[in-house]
Amino acid sequence: MTTRIIIRDMRVDMMIGVLEHEKNRKQPVIINIEAVIADNRDWGADDIKKTVSYDPIVSGARQLAARGHINLVETLAEHIAALCLQDGRVSEVKVRVEKTTVYDFVDSVGIEIIRKRP
């Protein structure tokens, strides 16, 4: 059995990129996160304390995006993955970060990483 938290298409405006014009203005970024969590065999208890809440992941990712300029989408993805893996119940996380205004003929460009608990 596998349980995943899914956060799909979170939109943030942030300072990201290595080009000079990217350092002077915010641009839209789409973040997707899937975290594999320890299976809870007692879902019937309906108790948030027995699972990983998506709220700290969402708010943490938004805080990371708001901290200031980041050069690489890879750096943001790594920070988000590390945030998720701080919770010992998360065994694996997949993070996708995409910039949506780099090219007018492409919907988005970006990266996807998968990190596992050692």
Q: What is the pLDDT of residue 85?
A: 97
Q: What is the pLDDT of residue 51?
A: 83
Q: What is the pLDDT of residue 111?
A: 98
Q: What is the pLDDT of residue 104?
A: 95
Domains and CATH numbers, the chain: 3-116 (3.30.1130.10)
Q: What is the pLDDT of residue 39?
A: 77
Q: Tell me the pLDDT of the chain (118 aa) as tens digits.
A: 788 999 999 999 999 999 998 998 999 999 999 999 987 777 677 888 878 899 999 999 999 999 999 999 999 999 999 999 999 999 999 999 999 999 999 999 999 999 999 8
CA distances, 111 to each of 2, 38, 49, 54, 101 (Å): 24, 26, 32, 22, 15
pTM of the model: 0.93
Estimate the crossing angle of helix 73-85 against helix 54-66, to 10 degrees: 150
